[in-house]
Amino acid sequence: MDDGVQKHGSGEPAASRLHRGTNQSGMRDHNERLVLSLVRQHGGLAKSDIARMTGLSAQTVSVIMRELEDEGLLLRREPLRGRIGQPSIPMALNPEGAFFIGLKIGRRSAELVLIDFLGKVRAMLHHSYRYPAPSETVDFVAAGVAKLRSELTPAQDRRVAGLGIAVPFELWSWADAAGAPRSIMEEWRHRDIRADIQALCDFPVYLQNDATAACGAELVFGNALDVRDFVYFYIGAFAGGGIVLNGRIYSGPTGNAGALGSMPVPGPDGRPIQLIDVASIAALEKALAERGVDAQHLWTSPEEWGDIGPELDRWITNAANALAYAIVAASSVIDFQDAVIDGWMPIAIRARLVKAVANALDEVDAEGLKLPAVREGTVGIHARALGGASLPLSDRFLVGPTSASGTL
């Protein structure tokens, strides 16, 4: 299996690895990615700035930036005047330079998103269901991709550079929790969904675990570029997560590192259960169903859940306590700067959950540990779909902060 994992642990400082180029022949592709990554990170840079940051010669930088401009990937900004000598001309990413499609296959819904080179959402399609079925998903993608591309100009359509799939690994294992027929869920075991979708597309198709993809969206599109190491939780139908080390996703040899939903946490009777059993929105749905409340709006209206009642308060308390234990456990292994929490929920509820987690951490015995700061994610409800779109962006144009996994 080609899991595309980037290894961690070279021992070299992250900043020097990120900003170091090479003038050797045959390495221009890496240097182009390095330039694009720096321009993306800073919003715009002059040639002299890039030469200083990378250690590349001024001539090498000039050649690279001229070629990237000719290819339509970079745009010239207004010259910066007022300094001694010739005015410098910052270069910025061209929003029209490339387009990417992200697909989220969730346990209750699927999404397709089209983004430009800056990561701005140009279009989005949503499809809700009781449970995911492979054939229905492929049909949604076929119709959805055709619709998204039909709204592009021919010039824009030629610049669609790839599609990334964010999907729970071993989806067939969650038949009971998803309330789905086992026969339908078993189809996922024998389907290569990436190959099925690749057959529909004339550009590369990538695949990654959904929670890890959401983590990648926070890394690529989020607002905390100075945070190099963080543990990430995405609270969807089921809770999951990811790990970022030295500014890159760490997914491990099988792509399953950061499977935080499986982390043991104390249950109601003190016995260990998995985080997924407590912190998932499916647990809130179950509590509402026991009161006879139709909770379908949890999946169809993530921006506004309305007045749910005491079940929401209990869910936040239980989820926060479990997440606090998970953060402490993760921090005993890796010294994270931040613990980031995002999810398929209204912003106000996410804020309540994060505050409750921070309070719960004060009650956990963490002697000997330096706990990370707990903060809200900055991408939001569409993090998984955007994380899917980040896979071809990273693979083809950046110094790879994310990694793509090979098979389901």
Interstrand relation of 338-343 and 272-274 (parallel, antiparallel or unpaired): unpaired
Residue 9 is predicted with a pLDDT of 36
Q: Supply the pLDDT for residue 400.
A: 66
| pLDDT value for 155 | 96
Q: How many CB atoms lie under 10 A from the CB of residue 111?
A: 23
For residues 267 and 118, what is the distance between their CA atoms, to the nearest angstrom?
43
- Give me the pLDDT at residue 13, please: 40
111 beta partners:
104, 126
Residue 234 has phi, psi (to 5 degrees) of: -115, 120
Q: Name residue, tokens 């250690």.
A: 55
- Rounded to whole angstroms, the Cα distance separating 342 from 345 reads 8
Are 169 and 209 in contact by the 8 Å Cβ rule? The answer is yes
Show the low-confidence residues of the chain (pLDDT under 70): 1-28, 80-87, 175-178, 224-225, 400-408
**DSSP string covering 342-366, please?**
EESS-HHHHHHHHHHHHHHHTTS--
By three-state DSSP, how is residue 65 classified?
Answer: helix
Specify the pTM. 0.86
* pLDDT per position as a tens digit, 118-170: 999 999 999 988 889 999 999 999 999 999 999 999 999 999 999 999 998 88
List C-alpha distances in Å: 228 to 8, 13, 186, 243: 13, 11, 38, 10
pLDDT in the model for residue 25:
43
Structure confidence at residue 224 (pLDDT)? 65
